[in-house]
Homo-oligomer: A and B are copies of this chain.
């Protein structure tokens, strides 16, 4: 007999029922927070035309994408692929259904995305992303950038992490600095290095910046600008707003003005519950990897667990739909990568070990004679919104009780006498306490 490898493909999350229940708790809490902030739920298909997915994707994405082919068509090139994020399918959705939507379109998508990455700790090939996005028709006020960040921050509060730091910037600021320094042609390479400021030693980062800039004086200016401008906005904004008044600093000034507006509104939008847990800073090192961001960009770290990396991130994308339509559809969005985050929390033992048994009551017939009465009793308890399991095996009573203790919070033993009397005891399987069952 052929033996198969029954482990899931590496890079795919697969949980036992008790852990799955915890994962679902977080996912549901995130989802409900998004709805509480007025976002509407949609689902786009898992499979999209490859040309749609790759229209704006960078080289790394193209390498990681899963193509999908029917067996018979394997020889020809695949023209369908699995989505790698929710944002690109959303742009297609909005163009396709524009006449039926209400703008600004506030939308949430929670689902599985796919990247064919080399599996490694904390990197998944299939993973849940929990997204919120707002898409405007022609225009979209900056206040929605704050709305997205405040919503994501509110969703993070369901996690077993006490304190967060939200780091916000605007790509126009650093692009403006590069413009003024005559370095804008190297924007992608320089952003790539700036992004790594917390992943490299101070010395290595300086060296890397010097190398990519290829001009020591300019590299030094750039380094100073980034290093000095990470912190509370009211502390750094005064010196940031006085720098550069000439024409070549126009983009820079636009970015600074936009960032100030977003941070002001964010301050008002944060829920009272969150104010003690969330610190918002401006951070000029934040640029985000994806090419489609055009303005606001943000990341979030756990204050006491910076090594977790970014818990959620996103930004403003003003021209994502430009390949599909001539309409201007500016958007802003962000996402919690729940699968990665859950895996990190598990590794740090932050997911409660006190596993909740998912079934409320397990009914234990003493013998097959009591199965019918047990099934009917179960139905009566379900009418009271209880989750009820009935043991239907013909095992010994002791074995049945062991099963009950694993899946349920309480047990009701149904024997000949109980059926005759129509009266049952319920045993709390956590405390051991027994009392009369009220039906």
A-side residues, CB < 8 A to B, are 1-9, 12-17, 20-21, 24, 35-38, 40-49, 51-52, 55, 62-72, 74, 77-78, 80, 82, 92-93, 95-97, 100-104, 106-107, 112, 114, 116, 125-126, 136, 139, 141, 143-144, 147, 150, 265, 268-269, 271-273, 322-326, 358-359, 362, 371-372, 375-376, 379, 382-383, 385-390, 392-394, 403, 406-408
Q: Which of B40, B126, B269, B323 contacts A407 (CB 8 A)?
A: B40
Q: Does the CB pair B38–A6 fall under 8 Å?
A: no
Q: Does the CB pair A38–B389 fall under 8 Å?
A: yes
Bound together, the chains give a CA A106 to CA B399 distance in angstroms of 16
Q: Does the CB pair B143–A4 fall under 8 Å?
A: no
Majority SS of interface residues in chain A?
A: mixed
Residue of B nearest to A128 (CB): B43
- A/B interface sample: 28 pairs, CB < 8 A: A2-B55, A4-B49, A4-B52, A8-B44, A12-B47, A13-B43, A14-B44, A14-B45, A16-B100, A16-B101, A17-B42, A35-B387, A36-B387, A37-B387, A38-B359, A38-B407, A41-B358, A45-B126, A47-B125, A66-B69, A68-B69, A68-B82, A69-B69, A74-B77, A144-B392, A265-B375, A268-B372, A269-B375
Asked if A41 meets B12 with Cβ closer than 8 Å, knowing A5-B49, A52-B4, the reply is no
Asked if A6 meets B40 with Cβ closer than 8 Å, knowing A114-B47, A126-B47, the reply is no
Bound together, the chains give a CA A376 to CA B101 distance in angstroms of 27
Q: Which of B6, B116, B371 contacts A92 (CB 8 A)?
A: B6
How far, in Å, is A315 (CB) from chain B's closest CB? 17
Residue of B nearest to A31 (CB): B24
A390 / chain B contacts, CB cutoff of 8 Å: 38, 147
Q: Which of B268, B324, B376 contacts A3 (CB 8 A)?
A: B324
Bound together, the chains give a CA A174 to CA B321 distance in angstroms of 58
Residue of B nearest to A271 (CB): B379
Q: Does the CB pair B77–A38 fall under 8 Å?
A: no
Q: Does the CB pair A406–B102 fall under 8 Å?
A: yes
Q: Does the CB pair B42–A379 fall under 8 Å?
A: no
Q: Does the CB pair A35–B358 fall under 8 Å?
A: yes
